[in-house]
Amino acid sequence: MDIQLDHQFLIHTLQQLIRINSVNPSLDPHAPGEAKIGSFLAQTIKNMNLKPKIHHLEPGRVNVTTVIKGTGGGRSLMINGHMDTVGIYNMKEPFSGTISEGKIFGRGSIDMKAGIAAALTLVKALVEHKIKLKGDLIIAFVADEEYASIGTEHLVKVYQTDAAIVTEPTGLDICLAHKGFGLFEFSTTGKAAHGSLPEKGIDANMHMGMIMTELNRLSHKLQSTSPHPLLGRPSLHIPVIKGGTEPFTYAENCKMKMEIRTLPRDTLEKTLSELNAIIKKLSARIDNFNAAVKPIMWRDPYEIDKTNKIVTKLFDSVKGVTGHTPSYIGHPWWEDSSLLGKAGMDTVIIGPKGGGLHAKKEWVDIRSVIDLTGILYKTTLNYCNLLP
Ligand SMILES: [Zn+2]
């Protein structure tokens, strides 16, 4: 890489992005969403003589994209970053963007406005140095990753590229996989009766307890499966349970939510059939056992092979820019990469170093943001100029 990336623009833009509140309104009803940060990003893109597109999803919720058309004969690439952040809880100065000891502070600094600023700086370099790519480059800033991903869900209906890079934080390592998750609701139905009349009452809570015992067994089984090399083992827990109405009365209804964190081999169909098998087994064994289970939410896990071209190009770029050999890692939480991957794009995750994600003091390491920009620049050049 012989051209100079504009580090001053990078750091200044990141500070400006942190200073715009873009807390997700699905997490905090008083929060503004992405409209304001979206217009700032659209204007920044316009200032580079490129055409931004604002996609209106819901009131106050937008995606912002720009397409840098290739000359043809190359591979297309998307760089994807979410504009929304989680809430600000008891943060002292959530929107300061203060710089101290090589770090920038503020909500969204690492998760993931640094990734957005890096993508903008890469585009600025392409435009200013009139660098032509063979394949198209799509820059996509999306809404709502921290809640229901309406942004990337809409995005994949509009754009399709050969590969995608999501710039979520990874400490400049290469994230190849993440877990999925599912939320299920179990319900048991009994019969209300006076607490002194066992021949009349059917205890829905007790029946839920039977299900819990089986889920505990399943949980132990999951813990003894062979671990995924990057993600470990699947897990489940019971975050919410509500049953019965008052003391001295048999509980007529009980509802329980169960969350499961899954591995790339897991599917909704497989998981649901395992849960239904528990109910079937208990129904055969217990009189008047009346239970059901339904999925409330399901997000697929994600994995990409390290021999994939986008991964090898990224790996070479990290080594070239930082001099270090990156590790391959997995994330235990879910990310938008799952939606991009499902839409057919080879997706990989790389982002800067820092800390305090979703916590009181969030920060990003400036050196790593500068390196990330160089890495994205090099990867874009090398990938978009590959033959399809
Ligand atoms: Zn994030």
Tell me the average pLDDT across 22-27: 96
* pLDDT, tens digit (0-9, with 9 covering 90-100), for 324-367: 999 999 999 999 999 999 999 999 999 999 999 889 999 999 99
How remote is the CA of residue 18 from the centroid of ligand 1, in Å?
Answer: 14
Residues around ion ligand 1, judged by CB within 5 A, are 111-112, 168
Say yes or no: 343 and 295 in one domain: no
| Residue 274 in tokens | 């395992």
Say yes or no: 369 and 283 in one domain: no
How remote is the CA of residue 357 from the centroid of ligand 1, in Å?
Answer: 8
How remote is the CA of residue 280 from the centroid of ligand 1, in Å?
Answer: 39
Structural domain count, the chain: 2
Say yes or no: 348 and 361 in one domain: yes
Q: Any idea what DSSP says for residue 133?
A: P
Tell me the average pLDDT across 17-22: 98
Say yes or no: 31 and 135 in one domain: yes
How remote is the CA of residue 141 from the centroid of ligand 1, in Å?
Answer: 12
- Dihedral sign, Cα of residue 283, residue 286, residue 291, residue 293: negative
Residue 69: per-residue pLDDT: 97
How remote is the CA of residue 5 from the centroid of ligand 1, in Å?
Answer: 25
pLDDT band (50, 70, 90) for residue 108:
very high
Domain boundary among 299, 334, 363: 299
Residue 167 inside a domain? The answer is: yes
Give me the chain's average pLDDT, please: 97
Say yes or no: 353 and 314 in one domain: yes
Judge whether 167 and 280 are in contact, CB under 8 Å.
no
Say yes or no: 17 and 165 in one domain: yes
* pLDDT, tens digit (0-9, with 9 covering 90-100), for 272-318: 999 999 999 999 999 999 999 999 999 999 999 999 999 999 999 99
Provide the CATH number for the domain around residue 132. 3.40.630.10
How remote is the CA of residue 94 from the centroid of ligand 1, in Å?
Answer: 16
How remote is the CA of residue 146 from the centroid of ligand 1, in Å?
Answer: 7
Query: Residue 191 sits in which domain range?
Result: 180-299
Say yes or no: 92 and 136 in one domain: yes
Say yes or no: 186 and 330 in one domain: no
Say yes or no: 174 and 184 in one domain: no
Say yes or no: 171 and 127 in one domain: yes
Say yes or no: 158 and 276 in one domain: no
Residue 335: per-residue pLDDT: 95
Residue 329: other Cβ atoms inside 10 A: 17
Say yes or no: 317 and 170 in one domain: yes
Domain boundary among 299, 325, 351: 299
How remote is the CA of residue 110 from the centroid of ligand 1, in Å?
Answer: 8
Residue 2 inside a domain? The answer is: no
Query: Above pLDDT 90, what percent of the chain?
Result: 97
Residue 99 inside a domain? The answer is: yes
User: Rounded distance, CA 149 to CA 82, Å?
Assistant: 9
Residue 105 inside a domain? The answer is: yes
pLDDT score of 127 more than 90: yes
pLDDT score of 1 more than 80: no
How remote is the CA of residue 84 from the centroid of ligand 1, in Å?
Answer: 8
How remote is the CA of residue 333 from the centroid of ligand 1, in Å?
Answer: 10
Residue 2: per-residue pLDDT: 63
* pLDDT, tens digit (0-9, with 9 covering 90-100), for 206-264: 999 999 999 999 999 999 999 999 999 999 999 999 999 999 999 999 999 999 999 99
How remote is the CA of residue 166 from the centroid of ligand 1, in Å?
Answer: 9
DSSP string, 41-68: HHHHHHHTT---EEEEEETTEEEEEEEE
- Dihedral sign, Cα of residue 333, residue 334, residue 335, residue 338: positive
Provide the CATH number for the domain around residue 245. 3.30.70.360
Domain boundary among 264, 299, 334: 299
Helices (H) and strands (E) in the chain, counts: 9, 17
Residue 45 inside a domain? The answer is: yes
- Sheet architecture: strand order including 363-365: 99-100, 103-105, 363-365, 354-355
Residue 361 inside a domain? The answer is: yes
How remote is the CA of residue 283 from the centroid of ligand 1, in Å?
Answer: 43
How remote is the CA of residue 117 from the centroid of ligand 1, in Å?
Answer: 14
* pLDDT, tens digit (0-9, with 9 covering 90-100), for 67-102: 999 999 999 999 999 999 999 988 999 999 999 999
How remote is the CA of residue 90 from the centroid of ligand 1, in Å?
Answer: 20
How remote is the CA of residue 198 from the centroid of ligand 1, in Å?
Answer: 52
How remote is the CA of residue 14 from the centroid of ligand 1, in Å?
Answer: 15
How remote is the CA of residue 108 from the centroid of ligand 1, in Å?
Answer: 8
